[in-house]
Amino acid sequence: MPEFESRSVFFCMKAFEIFEFEGYDLLPVINENILRYFSISDKLLRKQSIISAYNICKRLKFDLSGGKKVFDEVQNVVQSIMYVIATDEFLDMRILGLKAFLDNKCFDIYLKDKKNVECLLMMLYDESTEIRSLLITLFSRLSENNVSTALTPLKVMVTQLINQIQFSDSRYILN
């Protein structure tokens, strides 16, 4: 993408944050335009696309009052952000996506979906301890309403951490 076009798209997405558009009006914009920028090579534009999609979705009422179509569209956005969190090569991009979900409990209804829970479980194996810590916090919050959502994954994570500490060189742990 040429630099001029990239900057134009970036500023258009920034406009979504500045102006108080209704989230329902912008859902088609997310699904038709913003999601395609989740996978481009321009990191700044990719980051802004995640922020824009998140900010638009958080303006919605997070229940079925908007209808099944709205629920499904937001679910699609959440799953797309989950894909970025799970696969992006840059740690700060993965952290950005997780923190977006941690900042707003309204996303919990979507995060409890089986596919999203499986994706979160897969991310427990991330090499970053910050990612793991954020995931444990997220699972803790998800378990407030349904303990089974988080209990098993947290047991697995704690067991793995104990094994890593037990079988690692203690000189590195203490430093």
Q: What is the pLDDT of residues 119-160, one digit of tens each?
A: 888 888 888 989 989 998 998 888 887 777 767 766 777 787
How is residue 22 written in tokens?
A: 């209704």
pLDDT band (50, 70, 90) for residue 84: confident
Location of structure tokens 């590195």: 172
Sorted by where each begins, the domain ranges of the chain are 3-170
pLDDT of residue 175 exceeding 60, the answer is: no
3-state helix, strand, coil in the chain (%, to 5): 80, 0, 20
pLDDT band at 104 (very low <50, low <70, confident <90, very high): confident
Is the CB of residue 132 less than 8 Å from the CB of residue 157? yes
Q: What is the mean pLDDT of residues 36-60?
A: 85
Give the residue from 13, 98, 100, 109 showing the smallest Cα distance to 62: 109
Q: Which amino acid is at 18?
A: I
Burial class (CB in 10 A: 0-12, 13-18, 19+), 6: middle
Per-residue buried b or exposed e for 107-139, using 16+ beta carbons within 10 Å of the residue's own CB: bbbbbeeeebbebbbebbebeeeebbebbbebb
In words, the CATH class of domain 3-170 is mainly alpha
Segments of the chain assigned E as strands: none
